[in-house]
Each structure stands twice: as structure tokens, then as C-alpha cells.
Amino acid sequence: MKYTVNETKGLVVLALNGKIMGGPEATEINDAINRLIDQKKTKIIIDLKNVELMNSSGLGILIGAVTLLKNNNGGLRLIQVPDKIMALLKSTKLNTVFYICGTLEEAAASFGPPQN
């Protein structure tokens, strides 16, 4: 799994690519989110458009991110969730845990007006 980090409109977009299966990538994503929190960047959007496969460990990574950001007065949004991943979220009822948006614009708006 690979990822890129971009900032737009005061928000951080973490675009994941490949398979989210746990292991070393779990540490990698958690470390990236912790670095962002240390920089006071706690409104994070995770773009799943290019995620091919996710297992329960991958779901655990995302759940950990939600909890970590909530504990730091932030929030997490998922965007562009592929049908296969959405089916997994629905079957595990985790679609009720995550704030899922269709687009970056929708996710950005869900955080409210930018804070200065």
C-alpha cells in the first residue's frame, strides 16, 4: 500500500492506494496521522478511490484513526469509497461509525467553515 498526503482548504487529504491489510502499513498510516496531529492538523479526509482490497486489519487501522482524531478534537471523513469496500463497511455495520462522503467538496463542507 502507498499513500500521498496533500493539504487543501485547511484540511489534509490522505489518499491511499493498493491493499489495506494491516502489518507494517498500519504503523505507517498511524505514524502519518500522529505526525499530522502533532502539527495541529486534525481534520483529515481519507480518499479510498484507489484501494483495491481491505481486510479486518485494514478496518482496524481506520477505526484507530477515527478514535485518535476524536480524542484530539478532530475528525475523519472517508471519500470515494469503492463499492467493494462499501460492501465490507455495510456488512460489518462500520458504515455507521465512519462519516462517508462522495466527494472532497462534500467532506470539506461537513467540517464546517475553515478555522483560522
- Per-residue pLDDT band for 115 (boundaries 50, 70, 90) equals low
Confidence (pLDDT) at 25: 72
CB-CB contact of 7 with 42 (8 Å): no
Calculate what percentage of the chain has a pLDDT beyond 90: 67
Q: Could you give the number of structural domains in the chain?
A: 1
Among 64, 81, 59, 2, residue whose Cα is nearest residue 30: 64
Residue 98 to residue 77: CA distance in whole angstroms:
7
114 occurs within a structural domain:
no
Among 19, 7, 4, residue whose Cα is nearest residue 43: 7
116 occurs within a structural domain:
no
* Mean of per-residue pLDDT scores for the chain: 90
Residue 8 belongs to domain with CATH number: 3.30.750.24
Question: Domain range holding 63?
Answer: 2-108
| Sheet of strand 75-79, all strands in order from the earlier edge strand to the far edge | 2-8, 11-20, 43-54, 75-79, 99-101
Per-residue model confidence as pLDDT tens digits over 26-76: 788 888 989 999 999 999 999 999 999 998 888 988 998 999 999 999 999
